[in-house]
Amino acid sequence: MKRILQLLSLLTAIFIAGISGSYAFELNGFADVSFIKSTEGADEFRNGNFAFGVLDLYVAQTLDDIEILSELIIEEGNELDLERLTIGYTFSDALRLRAGRFHTPLGFWNTSYHHGVQIQPTIERPEFLRFDDDGGILTTHFVGAYLSGRVKTAAGAVEYGAMIGNGPKVTAPGEVEEGSANALQPNNTSDNSIGKAVAFNVAVSPAAVAGLKIGISAHKAEIKSDGTVIDTDNADSDNDLTTGADSVNVDQTILGTAFMYSTGNLSLSGEYFTIINSDEVTSKDYDVNAYYGLITYSLMDKWIPYVMYETLSVEEADPYVVSLGSVDTEKLTAGLRYNISYSSSIKGEYRDIIDKDGKDWNEFAVQWALAF
C-alpha cells in the first residue's frame, strides 16, 4: 500500500506539471551521480563504487495568491519520499504564512540547501546536518505551521522565521542490518509527544558591513521513540525489533549560531550548535556540540576550491545519541568544484576522517550534479 501511495503521488505530481493553461505547474528537479573510495569500511567502499544519488522532482506555482510547493525524492532502491509539501500565502515581504512539511529553521545550511546537491557548495552536507533519514542528529524537517518574513531597516535587513509543529520521534531504520542505527522521523501524520515542537531563527545583514550575515536559531521539542527502535548494541541479532530496546524519552533544546561573509571572490561561513538532551527517565542532562567552518574561493566563476572542517562531540551515555548511533567525529574536506554551466557542476573531494577511537582514514569522492 505504501508503494502504491508513493507511485500515485509521483504520477499526480507529473500530471499536475503537465496541465496547460494559466495555472500550469512547471516540473523541475535535480540529479547526481558519484564515485567514492574509502580506505576503511566494507569491501564495497574500499573497492570504490559508482552510485546514483537522488532524483529530486519539485513543482511550485502560485494560484490566486496561494503558493504551492511539492518536492518528491526518488532514492536508492526506488524508494519515494515526499520531502516538502507546503501551502502558503504572502501578506507582504515582512509576513508570509505557510503550512505543511518544511525544512526546520535551524541555521543557514538547512534553510538554504535543500535536497538537490547542485545548489550546495560541497558533495555532502556536514555530518551532523545530514537529513533525518540519513544519519542526522538534528531535526531537519518538521510538519506544522511556519511564519517568516524580511524587514529592511536603516541598520540593515532582518530575516526571521518561527514554527510550531509535531515533535519528531526516533524510529527503526527502513532496513535493519549489521551496524544499523535508528533514525529521526518528523511525525508526518501524528505526534507521539505531549507538547508541540517550536523553533525560530533570526538573521541580520548589517548595512555597516557589506557581505556579512549573522544569525541565531533555536528548537525545543520532546522526543520519544515509537517502540520499534532496534538495539544498536546488537543490531544484527534476532531481537533487533524488540519493543523498548534503546528507548528514547528526552526533552531536547537546540541552540545555534551561524555566519556568512563574502568579499570579492572569497566566502567564509560557519555554524555552531549545542544540543541539550534532558533524559526524562534518569533526569540527567547530556550535551552534544557540533560545528563546521567553510572557505570557498571563486576563480572566473568556474573553478571554486574549498576547504571545510567539521566536528561532532557527544556524550556516550546520552540515550538519544546512542539510539541514533552518533559518535565523536572530526573531518577535514578539501575539494574543487567546476561549474560546467549554471545548472551543472563537477566536484572532487579528499576527506580525512577521525572517529571516537582515534582511527584515521581517508575518502576520495567525485560527483556530477545537474539541475533541470
Residues 139-196: pLDDT tens digits? 999 999 999 999 999 999 999 999 999 999 998 886 665 567 888 888 888 888 888 9
| Sequence-separated (6 or more) residues with CB below 8 Å from residue 12 | none
Contacting residues for 315 by C-beta, under 8 A, at least 6 apart:
286, 287, 288, 321
Go through 18-30 and write b for each residue having 16 or more CB atoms within 10 A of its CB, e for each that does not. Answer: eeeeeeebeeebb
Sign for the pseudo-dihedral over CA of 312, 316, 317, 322: positive
d(CA 35, CA 53): 10
E-strand spans in 121-248? 141-153, 156-165, 169-171, 183-185, 197-206, 212-225
DSSP secondary structure letters along 255-274: EEEEEEEEETTEEEEEEEEE
Going by their DSSP bridges, the two strands 156-165 and 169-171 should be labelled as unpaired
Pairwise CA distance, residues 166 & 169, whole Å? 9
CA–CA–CA angle 92, 115, 54 (5° rounding) = 150
CB 277 within 8 A of CB 249: no
Amino acid at site 127: E
Q: What is the pTM of this model?
A: 0.86
Which amino acid makes up residue 49?
Answer: N
Instruction: Please name each of the domains of the chain with its CATH number.
Output: 2-371 (2.40.160.10)
Longest dimension (CA), the chain: 64
3-state secondary structure of 39: coil
Other C-beta atoms closer than 10 Å to the C-beta of 323 total: 25
Residue 243 pLDDT: 38
- Residues (pLDDT < 70) of the chain are 1-25, 41-45, 76-78, 174-179, 233-246, 356-358
Helices and strands, number each (H, E), in the chain: 4, 19
